[in-house]
Structure 1
Amino acid sequence: MKLTVVGGGSTYTPELIDGFARLRDTLPVEELVLVDPAAERLELVGGLARRILARQGHPGRVVTTSDLDAGVEGADAVLLQLRVGGQAAREQDETWPLECGCIGQETTGAGGLAKALRTVPVVLDIAERVRRANPRAWIIDFTNPVGIVTRALLQAGHRAVGLCNVAIGLQRKFAALLGTDPRDVHLDHVGLNHLTWETGVRLGGPEGANVLPKLLAGHGDAIADDLRLPRPLLDRLGVVPSYYLRYYYAHDEVVRELGTKPSRAAEVAAMERELLTMYGDPSLDEKPALLAKRGGAFYSEAAVDLAASLLGGGGSPYQVVNTLNKGTLPFLPDDAVVEVQAAVGPAGATPLPVPDLDPLYAGLVANVTAYEELALEAALRGGRDRVFRALLSHPLIGQYAYADALTDRLIAHNREHLAWA
């Protein structure tokens, strides 16, 4: 089995390698190719990857290359984890929206749109080259904004599934609170990427007993602290929102916070410099503890599980993924991309039935889905007016003066990445 990671020079990659090594029985990778244009960085990561596999006795080989076409040739699955523009572009995404009093964040609001505009054309080019190399290869997208990028891939006819680590993080958190094996915890997870709610937590599978009320009653304070939302709000909702909902439920509070501290991008960039220094140490043969602070917790387990299921191996029968709606949420278009529990196998992902969604959540999902449609149109066709329309439609913006000012800033800060600008 050959797997290719595009963006393999990411500091995330040792987390992924560690998962491949530990879970070799689930996903027996024989060749792992790391593709990245940053040659020096790639070699540091590749060297550590080889040492991790060797330490754990994994027989697979690691190949590093900056040649995308060579890297994807014959690959059974291709994982996308790239960041167009690097941390410098992310820092801009997190700062210039604040000048207009709006959220500065890399996956939602104006910053998220900027990332989508930079990313979608690049990902579609990669996907076309994957299709030429192996039309049967699966593309697993971990590149943000996952919902928009996955919709672009599926709209273009690619064999693609989107993946996010939010759900598996909550699954592990709930399992620890319940004192049970994470494999026994099934989430009633519904919404869009970075806009989801856990409407139930079931033991044993989709038909298991719902223990969410018990979780909230006994551990509501701990869950609320993790989400940085007030406990009474969780009690009133009776569900557990993802931590990204804080941008919506406490918008003004978050804007004030973001304006008083360094950007997350600056923190991550400093962390990455330290990690790369560590990766260059030839005695290091395991992922360092610092990597846990980088983000992407449990990404490796989720990626291995998904790849194993898609490639016919021993992955879990049900997984939270990003895939076509196809009537799952009847108030959305069939070609929208939703993030829900799905049955996953070699034929792809089939969403499990979802009960009628409370209008409190359905309204926001419908609004953001409309934004994502306009964002994808702007990413594919370009133009100032399309950028403006997408920003005006976003519930975190929604005022024409803000949308106008943000449009100008977005284009100014991203001109080098926008072919039409």
Structure 2
Amino acid sequence: MRMTVVGGGSTYTPELIDGISRLRESLSIDEVVLTDPAAERLELVAGLARRILARGGHPARVTATTDLDAAVTGADVVLIQLRVGGQAARIGDETWPLDCGCLGQETTGAGGLAKALRTVPVVLDVADRVRRLAAPGAWIVDFTNPVGIVTRALLDAGHRAVGLCNVAIGLQRYFARLLEVAPERVELDHVGLNHLTWERAVRLDGVDQLPRLLDRHAADIAGHLHLPESVLTRLGSIPSYYLRYFYQHDAVVEEQRREPSRGQRVADIEEQLLRMYADETLDEKPALLSERGGAFYSEAAINLVASLMSDRGDVQVVNVRNEGTFPFLPAEAVIEVPGTVTSGAVAPVKVEPVDPLYAGLISHVSAYEELALDAALRGGRDRVFRALLAHPLVGQINLADQLTDRLLSANRQHLAWA
């Protein structure tokens, strides 16, 4: 099998390669093709990738190329993990919204919209090349944020695609540790949109352990999510970390104004990692990579690709068409829920009705995502303004106008229509 990684020059890539090496029984890969326009970074990452596979005795060869068409030609599966504008654009997403008293974050709020506007056209161009050049029936797995919007763009354009995020698998592993059991025994009732999800049940061998977890570990879980313990006990569910941006917006903004942005921290980590990758004696992912983010991405990606390739029909948390799963959303909306994965399709499983407390916010953000995608596809200041006005973290005319001006000023070089 030939797997292509678009954005393969990311310092993140050795995490995926490590997973390919460790999980070879799950997925047989003959060639990993890494493609990235940053040739120098690409060679450093590819060199480490080869050494990791050699250390693990994995027979797959690693090819590195800046030629995107060559990279996707004949691919059986294409993983997209690109970042348009690099860490500099991310740092912007996390800082200029603060000028207006709004959240600075790369996947939601005004910064998340900026990332969507930069990203969607590039991903669609990649996908069109995959459609022309990849192997018949090739799958696209999108890990590029904002995953929900990007996946919706891919599906609306008729591509064979599914979105993936590491939040669910990270929580599954975390709960398994608290319960002192193997992760495979833990199943989540995970519902919502990408980066807007709640765990309504944590089942161990089919029996819900959420009440037990909240009774015994509420303080630990709250600390893990950076949320007040009272939120968990009052909700009776476990929100994802990203819900703090909605539940504690003003407090987070004050934190962000006092501290360096996460993007700056990641940029510093990346500089250190690239220096490490240049060491030809390094043949394993360095411990510092865990601070880069994306824990358990490799496991999530390998498990999903294995099911897509071998028609296992198992259930994994994915970003997929709603198709009536949430009756309060359009069928074509993209949601994040457990889905049945086969070689022919990925379909959401039936879930219990969603509490209005969650459904209201899901509906609100889903409507924003539809407007965000329209702005990404067709451009125009008015469409950007409409998307921002619709976002629950903006929602005021003056704020939406100010944020629109700042967004366009900061991103003009990445927007063909601006």
TM-score (norm 2): 0.99
Q: Which residue of 1 aligns with 2:298?
A: 300
Q: Which residue of 1 aligns with 2:267?
A: 269
Residue by residue over 1:338-369, the C-alpha shift from the partner in whole angstroms, topping out at 9 and shown as x without a partner, is 00001111012111111110000000000000
Distance 2:325 2:164 in 1: 18
Selected match of 1:362 from 348, 359, 362: 359
- Does the Cα contact within 8 Å between 1:27 and 1:313 map onto a contact in 2? no
The alignment partner of 2:377 has SS state of: helix
Q: Which residue of 2 aligns with 1:97?
A: 97
Aligned letter for 1:413?
A
- Does the Cα contact within 8 Å between 1:8 and 1:81 map onto a contact in 2? yes
Cα RMSD after superposing both structures: 0.8
Show the 5 A alignment for 1:180-329. Answer: 180-204=181-205, 208-312=206-310, 317-329=314-326
Q: Which residue of 1 aligns with 2:408?
A: 411
Residue by residue over 1:215-257, the C-alpha shift from the partner in whole angstroms, topping out at 9 and shown as x without a partner, is 1111111000011111111100000000000000000000000
Distance 1:308 1:241 in 2: 29
- Does the Cα contact within 8 Å between 1:95 and 1:263 map onto a contact in 2? yes
CA-CA distance at 1:274 after TM superposition? 0.2
Q: Which residue of 2 aligns with 1:74?
A: 74
Distance 1:42 1:243 in 2: 31
Q: Which residue of 2 aligns with 1:129?
A: 129
Q: Which residue of 2 aligns with 1:86?
A: 86
- Does the Cα contact within 8 Å between 2:319 and 2:334 map onto a contact in 1? yes
Q: Which residue of 2 aligns with 1:148?
A: 149
Distance 2:311 2:289 in 1: 28
CA-CA distance at 1:313 after TM superposition? 5.9
Q: Which residue of 2 aligns with 1:163?
A: 164
Residue by residue over 1:12-69, the C-alpha shift from the partner in whole angstroms, topping out at 9 and shown as x without a partner, is 0000000000001101110000000100000000000000000000000000000000
Aligned letter for 2:166?
N
- Does the Cα contact within 8 Å between 1:186 and 1:202 map onto a contact in 2? yes
- Does the Cα contact within 8 Å between 2:41 and 2:274 map onto a contact in 1? yes
Q: Which residue of 1 aligns with 2:346?
A: 349
- Does the Cα contact within 8 Å between 1:327 and 1:333 map onto a contact in 2? yes
Q: Which residue of 1 aligns with 2:62?
A: 62
- What percentage of aligned pairs have identical amino acids? 69
Q: Which residue of 2 aligns with 1:39?
A: 39
Distance 2:224 2:322 in 1: 29
Aligned letter for 1:189?
H
Q: Which residue of 1 aligns with 2:373?
A: 376
Q: What 5-or-longer segments of structure 1 have no aligned partner?
A: none
- Does the Cα contact within 8 Å between 1:26 and 1:313 map onto a contact in 2? no
Aligned length: 417
* Cα distance change of structure 1 residues 313 and 30 upon mapping to structure 2, 3 Å threshold: farther
Aligned letter for 1:203?
L
The alignment partner of 1:350 has SS state of: strand
Aligned letter for 1:347?
G
Distance 1:105 1:229 in 2: 17
Aligned letter for 2:128?
E
Residue by residue over 1:164-183, the C-alpha shift from the partner in whole angstroms, topping out at 9 and shown as x without a partner, is 00000000000000011100
Q: Which residue of 2 aligns with 1:385?
A: 382
The alignment partner of 1:83 has SS state of: coil
Aligned letter for 1:338?
I
Q: Which runs of 4+ in 1 moved over 2 A?
A: none
Distance 2:102 2:220 in 1: 29
TM-score (norm 1): 0.98
Distance 1:170 1:136 in 2: 32
The alignment partner of 1:396 has SS state of: coil
- Does the Cα contact within 8 Å between 2:311 and 2:344 map onto a contact in 1? no
Residue by residue over 1:267-312, the C-alpha shift from the partner in whole angstroms, topping out at 9 and shown as x without a partner, is 1001000000000000000000000000000000000000000011
Aligned letter for 2:191?
V
The alignment partner of 1:311 has SS state of: helix
CA-CA distance at 1:322 after TM superposition? 0.1
- Does the Cα contact within 8 Å between 2:8 and 2:36 map onto a contact in 1? yes
Q: What 5-or-longer segments of structure 2 have no aligned partner?
A: none
Distance 1:93 1:232 in 2: 30
The alignment partner of 1:75 has SS state of: coil
Distance 1:349 1:185 in 2: 21
Distance 2:16 2:255 in 1: 32
